[in-house]
Amino acid sequence: MEAKKRIEIMDTTLRDGEQTSGVSFLPSEKLQIAKLLLEELKVDRIEVASARVSEGELEGVQKITQWASQKGYLDRVEVLGFVDTPASVNWIVESGAKVMNLLTKGSLNHLIHQLKKTPEQHFEDIRESIAYAQEKGIAVNVYLEDWSNGMRNSKEYTLSLIEFLQGQAVKRVMLPDTLGLLAPEEVKSYFQEITKLFPELHFDFHAHNDYDLSVANVMEAILYGAAGIHTTINGLGERAGNAPLESVVAVIEDFTDFEIGIQEQKIFRVSKLVEQFSGQHIPANKPVVGENVFTQTAGIHADGDNKKNLYFNDLMPERFGRQRKYALGKTSGKANILKNLEELGISLEKEELAKVTQRIIELGDKKERVTTEDLPYIISDVLQNNVISKHISIEGYHMTHSKGLKPTVQLRMKIHGKSYDESATGDGQYDSFMRALKKIYKSLGKELPKLTDYHVSIPPGGKTDAFVETVITWDYGKIFKTKGLDPDQTVAAMMATEKMLNIIENMTYQPEKEESTYYGNEYRAVAG
């Protein structure tokens, strides 16, 4: 049986990825990312810096090479160098690295207008750089900058450069689509031509994503002769970025017969760390690593998954160290809710499930996102409401909060079918609400309990944008708590207060029938 062709993955997050606008890794961060790339993800090579950039860059490379030397990874750590003998090579020697990726001009346009040299002069400079690197014990790969434009507009020059490199001590020839301008059919055509002309050379392809074609172009490159692919974590890079490692790995694994050594299950954790270090937020819909890509929202999808995994594809979340989730919102329906309840080990009665579903739909209509972590809060709130007879309700309110002025509230309460209106000013919106409420209760000859504690929280993890939970502790001869849920903290507190009023009303309104007691997080009627 013929062995599968192996594709090398060279990750350049620490060099090309750091050219993302606003991204600059600290030396210690570079070391941590390098360790994860080589030891966790098992990429074949990493490009960690450009020579001669700064002292900080030198320190970062030295940290990486010292560690890599101890681990036996030094030949897998690469540094971009320039045709500037001896400057780049000397910098790389000082950094402790052993591999230089030499940046040459892959298009006649770049050569003439940037270097202002003839091809013969450039080739001689390249030869000198490679010879000096060899003398210093540095292995050399060569980039053909602007190769894609070269193939389009000055093919004779570009092919002559590759032919020249074939006779030099070069391990890899690296072909960048520097401006991200190629279409997949061009990548196919160019690789077919080059690999036919130079079958003995190892070619890498370096894609940029300006037209959102980087992954498609990578696929064409490897199908038609590329032996290595350059990537970055999360697609970091200049302008629209580079080919994202996470998508490239998935495409190679699922759409080709080639072999790669990447540990897929480690991709997500590395992606999240790079997100933190770079400060570049991962879009929620980004393939493989985005927040939403393994989340089913429509209820019909959850129902289909229950019946025979009808909405699964080969991109199973477990491959990448993730889990499938079922989003909760106005389109989710009972199937999604049941999936989430199953995950939490909770079962509800039919009537309770209907009420929980309705509450989630209400939040979805407000464009709020509900997570699995929110569910226990919603269930507790719904079940608490179920056991409290509602004689009192907040019918309406208008709150104002302006700089330099005290907050005011206009409040309408409905008590046993009759409406009462009051307004008040206080030290905050909730304080204003309570002052207005006290006026109403005073007019009825009633007293309110003493508020002894007020606590605001969100579900564990802090990822929800659906609501906050406000828990208020009251003293009414006995201590009890009520809670409210709402996206607005003040409204949540008002809902908790409404529950308190109904608990007290149930205690006093029908004393001949039962004695009412509040235990922990719920109200229970105890037969007397």
How does pLDDT run across 77-96, given as a tens digit for each residue? 999 999 999 999 999 999 99
DSSP H or E run through 524:
strand 522-527
Separation CA 360–CA 394 (nearest Å): 21
Tokens 């009520």 belong to residue: 482
Confidence of residue 313 (pLDDT cuts 50, 70, 90): low
DSSP H or E run through 422:
strand 418-425
Q: What is the pLDDT of residue 309?
A: 47
Strands in 418-425's sheet, in edge-to-edge order, are 392-400, 408-415, 418-425
Q: Are 251 and 30 a contacting pair, CB within 8 Å?
A: no
Task: Give me the chain's average pLDDT, please.
Answer: 86
Q: What is the pLDDT of residue 311?
A: 45
The 8-class DSSP code of residue 232 comes to: B
Catalytic position from the list 15, 45, 322, 359:
15
User: pLDDT, tens digit, for every residue of 97-139?
Assistant: 999 999 999 999 999 999 999 999 999 999 999 999 999 999 9
Confidence of residue 300 (pLDDT cuts 50, 70, 90): very low
Catalytic position from the list 18, 47, 145, 505:
145
- Angle in degrees, 0-180, between the axes of helices 350-365 and 375-386, rounded to the nearest 10: 120
Q: What is the pLDDT of residue 302?
A: 38
For the ranges 55-69, 113-127, 347-361, 434-448, the lowest mean pLDDT is seen at 347-361
CA distances from 340 to 55, 134, 243 (A): 52, 61, 35
Q: What is the pLDDT of residue 44?
A: 98
Amino acid at 421: D
Q: In the annotation, is 135 catalytic? A: no
Please tell me which of 110-124, 298-312, 340-354, 393-407 the model is most confident about, judged by mean pLDDT: 110-124
Q: In the annotation, is 52 catalytic? A: no
Q: Are 162 and 115 a contacting pair, CB within 8 Å?
A: no
Q: Are 480 and 507 a contacting pair, CB within 8 Å?
A: no
CA distances from 182 to 109, 218, 220, 234 (A): 17, 11, 11, 21
Separation CA 259–CA 261 (nearest Å): 7
If you average pLDDT over residues 348-375, what whole number do you get?
A: 70
Sign, Cα dihedral of 180, 183, 189, 195: positive
pTM of the model: 0.68
